[in-house]
Structure 1
């Protein structure tokens, strides 16, 4: 249990609880995570955990959102350092995506644990919109497409990225091949030539 010497501010406690929850998911799987197991692992009382997350789905949603924030931050950082040419932008987007996919193996387990949760559907939509908006803004200067058309292509590219990430996490492809494939898909998505078909 916490003592006066280990009291944390509410935001700091939340981060500590999320770190502990992520460790549980990574080492034991999402099925092992409950508010009780989190309280025990973090060395706090159950009411503290309930105060922060309310329910197990609330905890899982908080973890999912945290992973998404890290993913978008990695993309933003990668884009800041990229040369403003399509090939380089596509490459850094791809590398950032798969670095996160390999660094956050909990993503799939948490997502699977939340399947069917109506709040999850809303959050997934918000996350997809946010991520595709970032991609669209970065790629728009290099494409003759209207923003809406480019954004729709980015949605498709992200679907492909998710499928490639699953292959990567299963060990059925390499990071280099995954990055190359997604880079090609991104470049293809901004190509507006109509004589390709």
Structure 2
């Protein structure tokens, strides 16, 4: 075990530990993930795990951020490959959102385990801001709204996406219908030609 632990750089070791932590959560849920179970599953000593994450909440927070990074990377890649039309951009963003909601169930498990953690709230705000900025930047060339007005609508669209995701998790809709609904909401929230919002009129 000593030879194995010295073979990786600190960053590579952290990535390996997070990969192992993700495997544990997928198999056992977030309750099965502790610093001890991670050390045992990764074949390293407990001090190595403590050195990387400090506490169980620290480990869960790092894993949550890892999942968010993976989601944003996939979304950005999909946007680079999308046709430059508002409908297609909205569809790609919607698809990426619900693929995350369905293909990464460990996201919800980790989030639930961190409920009430003050650091988690700050990280969630940062994540929402980052995804909002990604969405707004992609849609801006196709909108007549000001950047500020468009960003606010993206905030609203993400709120709607969360509500639709809840319906999806409860089995009340399908991924296809969820993607269609969110796509329509995104496209309907931007103004593609007049420089005005259908709701706010000339005030924008």
Q: Name the TM-score class by shorter chain.
A: over 0.9
Partner of 2:20: 20
Q: Indicate the residue corresponding to 2:194 in structure 1.
A: none
Q: CA deviation at 1:172?
A: 2.6
Q: What are the residue-to-residue correspondences of 1:118-129 with 2, within 5 Å?
A: 118-129=118-129
Map of 1:51 onto structure 2: 51
Q: Is 1:193 aligned with 2:195?
A: no
Is 1:147 matched up with 2:152?
A: no
Aligned to 2:94: 94
Cα separation, 2, equivalents of 1:41 and 1:167: 35
Task: Please identify, of 56-65 and 141-150, the stretch whose mean Cα deviation from structure 2 is larger.
Answer: 141-150
Q: 1:156 is matched with which residue?
A: 156
What secondary structure sits across from 1:144 in the alignment?
A: coil
For each residue in 1:97-138, what CA deviation from the matched residue of structure 2 results, as whole angstroms up to 9, or x when unmatched?
111222211111111111111111111111111110010111
Report the equivalent of 1:3: 2
Is 1:37 the counterpart of 2:37 in the alignment? yes
Give distance in 2, aligned partners of 1:131 and 1:195: 24
- In structure 1, C-alpha distance between the alignment counterparts of 2:40 and 2:103, rounded to whole Å: 26
- For 2:115 and 2:47, how far apart are their aligned partners in 1? 26
Aligned length, in residue pairs: 195
| Structure 2, gaps ≥5 residues long | 192-196
- Verify: 1:61 aligned to 2:66, yes or no: no
Runs of 4+ in structure 1 displaced over 6 angstroms? none
Give the Cα–Cα distance (whole angstroms) in 2 for the partners of residues 128 and 57 of structure 1: 20
Provide closer, same or farther for how the CA distance between residues 11 and 172 of structure 1 changes in structure 2, counting only shifts above 3 A. Answer: same
Q: Distance in 2 between matches of 1:136 and 1:125?
A: 16
- Aligned-partner Cα distance in 1 for 2:169–2:16: 27
Q: CA RMSD in A?
A: 1.6
**TM-score calculated relative to the size of structure 2:** 0.90
TM-score normalized by structure 1?
0.93
What secondary structure does 1:115 align onto?
Answer: coil
